Structure 1
Amino acid sequence: MTFPRPLLLCLQGLLLGRFAQACPLPCQCYDGTKVFCSGAEIRGIPEGLPGNATQLFFVETSLAAVESGAFSNCGSLTRLVFLNNPSLALQAGAFGGQPSLAELEVSGSNLSALSSEAFGSLLELRHLVLTFSALRGLEPELFNRTPSLEALHLQGNKIETLPPKVFSLLRGLRVLDLSHNPMAQVPGRLFDPLALLQVLKLSDVGLTCLPLGIFQPLRSLEELSLDRNALAELPRGAFSGLSRLRRLELQHNALTSLHPCTFSCLPNLDTLNLEGNRLSALPAGLLRGTPKLGQLFAASNRLETIPEGIFSNLSQVQTIVLSHNQLSHLPAGVFRDLSSLTTLQLDHNNFTALAGDTFHNLLSLEVLDLAGNRLQALPEGIFDSNDYLLGVALKDNPWVCDCRLASLAGWIRNWSAPLNSQTFCASPDRLKGWALPALPQEQLVCVAAPGPADSSLSPGEAEPARAPCTYSDPEGTVQLACDTAACHRLTVNLPPQGDSTGQGLAYDSNWVLNSSCGTVRVRVTIRAEPGGAAREEEAVSHPPTPRSE
């Protein structure tokens, strides 16, 4: 249907007028049910809010107070959010008369106290967020009128103490976040009513100890965060009863030791984070009770060794992080049964050598970090069984670029050159500073032990310095003797060859010579000098001098 232009303009005016009247300035309305109010000019609840609004947001306003019955005309409200309203104050009954309200959030205010009367009777409230404000405490009966709460977020306040029975009526609570509050301790039976709780976060609350059995009533708990506290020890049985726990965060505490049975009652644990503590050792049986562990983080501790068999029952583990410790040795077969392991981080430890079969059973390994150790070489074929290995981080090790590194250099060039472009030679001096992936294979030579004395010396002739390495071609035509400083003796058995120029003897040829020390290239040129004398020239390819770029 096509409307005449005057009629169309009239309809547009009516519609715009209707919407403008239903959405008070400076708020904006969306879909007729969502209202967004923002701006410092807003100092009170605007009049004329749409009666059918279901979601209402106040963001960065100058609201000073929310008075009793402020939203009485919004009977359909299900979500009410206050973000970064620093002057906000909530009076008694501020949220009264909201039978459908399911989500309430007040974040980023200077609210220091909250009366239980502010909520009225919010019987349908499921999610309550009171975060990053200035709350210093909670009234014992604050949540008595919100019995249906499933998620309660109180992180980022200034709460120092909690009434022992403040959660007594929240028997349906699934998520509780108390992080980033200066509590230092929690009442011993604070969580007793929360049998259905699944997530408990106590990060950065200053805990120095855990009351015995505090978590035992939480039979449904799946995630527990105790990170960034000051826990120096964990009581025996600290996690008993938490058979459904899947994630345990203990990073950045002050733990110096762990009892072998600390995690013995966690059969469903998937993620364990011990990073950033002061652990110098891990008990051999620490992980026997966690057969489903998939992620283990123990970086930035003081570990000097790993017990034999500590990972023996972790057939499902995918990630092990042991970075930034003091490890210098790995027990034989320590990773033997980890067929699912994809990520292994051993960087920034004190390893000087690794056994050739260290990683042979890690058939799923994709990422291996060995950077920042004291490795000078790796055994030949150390990665031969790791078909899915995407790359190995090798930088910041004192690599000795000789024949012992030839196999590794070849592997890097074929598989992981971009990742290891910053893997530099530390020695010998002639190669110091060279990037291993860019170094020609023939430069990776070794100095062998001195051989027997040359029996061809004439009586009375002084024995020359022994050559640690003798290079030759397969036919034995050319031999080149070298020591650690330079090459000194070249022997060439020339085949008959005439001079096509008629000026005398001439010879010019190239060889690739091999020895147990490595490979070198040699070029020999012989030509006649004026007067009939022949001059021999030899050109031996030496490793290049390191460059600075």
Structure 2
Amino acid sequence: MDKHKRSSYPPPSCVLLLLSVSLFYVSTVRAIICPSSCRCDRRERSVACSGYNYLGLPKMNVPPAVRTFSLTNQSILYFDDTWSDLGLDLREIKLINCQVSNMSANALRGFGRLRILHLNFNSLSEVPYCISNSSSIRDLRMSDNEIDSLSVDTFQSLSELRILELAYNWISELPDEIFWNLSELRVIDLSNNMIGYITRWTFINQTKLTDLNISNNQVTSLSFGWLNSLTKLWDLKLHGLFTDAPRFDNISTQVDNLIQLSDGLEFSNIEILDISYNYLTEIPCHCWETMKTLITLRMVGNSFETVPSYCFSELRDLHDISLDHNSISHLGQFAFANVMHLRSIELAGNNITHLPPNFMNGSKLVTYLNLDQNQFTYLPSSFVIHGMLDRLNMQNNLIDNISETAFMDLPKLSMLDFRGNRLTSLTTELKSAWSLRFVQMIANEISFVDEDAFSNNTRLQGIWLDYNRLSTISYETFLPLPRLVVVSLKYNPWYCDCRIKWMHTQVQIEMGLPQYEWLAIDKKIRCSAPKRLKKVFMRAIKYPNKLICSSFPPPLTIKLIVGISLSIVGLSTALYIIQLYCKARKLERNGGDPGKCIP
């Protein structure tokens, strides 16, 4: 054979190269194959199936590289061992809203590295045996099932568990030491169950727990010192813990145990505390000494009637406090004084009628004060004294009068909410709010806005006057406001004549006015009068020249003039008849001799 003749077979190196490319192509294709009705993420190595109504656990051709498998909105009913034979190394399984009511003892066989198991919104009546023996699980969520009981051994093998969520079930009892072996737990959510009692042994050994939520249960017995082991706790939610308070033998003792910290134990990490809706009648001011790290404190929906002076002064790091929907009618002279980092105070839904002038003295960082749904009728001069207050919510009160100097001691006030009050006009009410940027006056009874109403509020960017009784408003009212962006005037009984002709977009263009957003308000303006334009939207008026003012007096003036004229005529007629009657009687008595009419 000629040594220069090229061989018809490819060299071994080429064969190996082609084989490698083919294998790579096949593996790549297999990696991206996605089961029907599923969504696959190659980067996350996950398969998520929703929409196809599987009647059992589907046996799919799932690539072995997949680490996360989730099914939602299915009808699985029984979680068997189908997936155990697929050779998968799953780290995360989610079966959410799949009507699962039972699980096989081998359902999780082969998943020795499973970390996350979510079984929310199913029909499980107990924690299945296969879960209790899966020691690798770190995140277990079984909220919104039908679990009604737990035993001491239920979680003992889950030594790696970090998150346990069992909210919205029917659990009525927590055995002592049920979480004893779960020393790695960080989060426990047992809210919205029917738990009847908690002892000092319930959460024993939970030294790493940071979040505990047992809100909305039916606790009738709460042991003293039940929080003692939770030294790392920073988020404690006890919202509506006592939903069955009338059954208590001693309600005051149970409520005291709710927040009593024994033996001077300090919660050096707790930042969030929610003790709303727990039938508390007095704010537990004495407890704050052991919770000096609190940042958020919620005590909504209790039965407080007063806030004592300096009650929160120990909470130097407190940022937000909410006392909404209590029965507070009295604030101590220094109720929120000396809370160094306080940012917001919420007092909505109470019975407050006035504020002590120094109730925030020393709390220099407060920027938001919510007094919605209280009983204020009048805002006096220097209503609130605070150099940093930025937002003030006064909606849904009974305010019908505001002093011209009400806001003179609020130099930073930028947002003012007066929705749902009883103001009838705007003249000088906002004169002292010179830094105001947004003002809400929706749903009052305002029928008149003076041309100088906003003359001192040159920083205004937004004005809302919807749902009032305005029939007209002058364009000059808004001339002093160079930064104005939005003005909303919807749902007022507008009298569409030349006085509001400026609202029409076409007129704005003809006048050369800048087309700010607030100027294009004719899309929302609907005429209530005169009769020929009733119920017509201003934008539908093709020729704005039809918006004319009659040379005759306005209808109200005409009615007034006619009424006065008729009254004068009626009175004159009555006097004339009386005079004739007197003369006739005099003549009758004196035999026809006229004289002075003496009754």
The normalised TM-score by structure 2 is 0.67
Look up the match of 1:505: none
Cα distance change of structure 1 residues 90 and 418 upon mapping to structure 2, 3 Å threshold: farther
Which residue, 308, 331, 337 being the options, matches 1:234? 331
Q: Deviations over 1:166-222 (max 9, x none)?
A: 235324311100112333334452333211111110111232233454323222211
One-letter amino acid matched to 1:172:
N
Conservation of the 8 A alpha-carbon contact between 1:412 and 1:437: no
For 1:46, the aligned partner's letter is: Y
Is 1:431 the equivalent of 2:533?
A: yes
Please report how far the alpha carbon of residue 366 of structure 1 lies from its aligned counterpart in structure 2 after TM superposition: 3.6
> 1:262 corresponds to which residue?
359
Higher relative contact order (CA 8 A, sep 6+): 1
The amino acid across from 1:425 in the alignment is: C
Distance 1:268 1:31, change over 3 A: farther
Structure 2 residue aligned with 1:282: 379
Q: Residue 43 of structure 1: CA displacement?
A: 2.0
Q: Deviations over 1:275-299 (max 9, x none)?
A: 111101223223322x222221101
Change (3 A) 1:136 1:406: same
CA distance in 2, matches of 1:318, 1:25: 62
Identify the match of residue 441 of structure 2 among 330, 340, 346: 346
* Structure 2: distance between partners of 1:258 and 1:30: 63
Structure 1 residue 262, shift from structure 2 partner: 2.7
Of 322, 327, 340, 2:423 maps to 327
Equivalent residue for 2:269, pick from 172, 177, 185: 172
Q: Deviations over 1:233-272 (max 9, x none)?
A: 2222111122311111111111122222233443211111
Confirm or deny: 8 A CA contact 2:119 2:143 kept in the other structure.
Answer: yes
Higher strand share: 1
Instruction: Choose the corresponding residue for 1:157, options 232, 241, 246.
Output: 241
Q: CA deviation at 1:395?
A: 2.8
> What is the alpha-carbon distance in structure 1 between the residues aligned to residue 283 and residue 295 of structure 2?
18
Question: Which of residues 470, 475, 492 in structure 2 aligns to 1:380?
Answer: 475
2:380 equivalent to 1:310: no
Aligned-residue offset at 1:313: 4.7
2:545 maps to 442
> What CA distance in whole angstroms lies between the structure 1 residues aligned with 2:452 and 2:112?
64
Report the equivalent of 1:190: 287
Aligned to 2:167: 83
After TM superposition, the structure 1 stretch with the greater mean CA deviation from structure 2, 53-62 or 358-367, is 358-367
- The alpha carbon displacement at 1:346 in A equals 1.0
CA distance in 2, matches of 1:134, 1:403: 66
Task: Identify the residue that residue 50 of structure 1 maps to in structure 2.
Answer: 134
The size of the alignment, in residue pairs, is 450
Q: Which amino acid aligns with 1:279?
A: F
CA positional deviation for 1:141: 0.6
Measured in 2, the distance between the counterparts of 1:326 and 1:21 equals 61
Matched, 1:111 2:192: no
Residue 54 of structure 1 and its aligned partner are, at CA, apart by 1.5
Match of 2:299 in 1: 202
Runs of 5+ consecutive residues of structure 2 not aligned to the other structure: 1-19, 32-60, 65-82, 94-102, 246-250, 510-514, 559-599
**Shift of the alpha carbon at 1:89?**
2.2
CA contact (8 A) 2:503 2:519 kept: no
Would you say the 8 A contact 2:491–2:525 is kept in 1? Answer: yes
Query: CA offsets, 1:136-178, max 9 Å, x none?
Result: 4532211011111111001133265422662353243111001
In the other structure, the counterpart of 2:349 is: 252
Identity rate of aligned residues, in percent?
A: 22
Q: Does 1:33 align with 2:151?
A: no
Q: Deviations along 1:358-394, whole A, 9 cap, x unmatched?
A: 3345455343211222323222322234445343222
User: Structure 1 residues 304, 295: closer, same or farther in 2, change over 3 A?
Assistant: same
> What RMSD, in angstroms, separates the aligned Cα atoms of the two structures?
3.6
- Other structure's SS at 2:290 match: coil
Q: Which residue of 2 aligns with 1:96?
A: 180
Change in 2 beyond 3 A, CA 1:296/1:211: closer
Cα contact 2:89–2:113 (8 A) shared by 1? no
Equivalent pair of 1:394/1:420 in contact (CA under 8 Å):
no
Gaps of 5+ in 1: 451-467, 469-483, 485-549
Does the aligned pair in 1 maintain the 2:313–2:338 contact within 8 Å?
A: yes
Change (3 A) 1:356 1:20: closer
Higher helix residue share: 2
For the 8 Å contact 1:197–1:221, the answer to whether it is kept is yes
CA distance in 1, matches of 2:377, 2:545: 44
CA deviation vs aligned residue, 1:103-129 (integer Å, no higher than 9, x gap): 111122111211121112111111111
SS in 2 for 1:407: helix
Equivalent residue number for residue 502 of structure 1? none
| Separation (CA, whole Å) in 2 of partners of 1:445 and 1:151 | 65
1:17 deviates by 4.9
Instruction: Please report how far the alpha carbon of residue 46 of structure 1 lies from its aligned counterpart in structure 2 after TM superposition.
Output: 2.2
The amino acid of 2:385's aligned partner reads R
TM-score, length of structure 1 as denominator length? 0.72
Structure 1 position 86, deviation (Å): 0.8
Tell whether the 8 Å contact from 1:333 to 1:358 is kept in structure 2 after alignment. yes
> What amino acid is aligned across from residue 299 of structure 1 in structure 2?
Q
Residue 405 of structure 1 deviates from its aligned partner by 2.1
Equivalent AA in structure 2 for residue 35 of structure 1: L
Q: 2:320 aligns with which of 202, 205, 223?
A: 223
Of the structure 1 ranges 251-260 and 432-441, higher mean CA displacement relative to structure 2 is found in 432-441
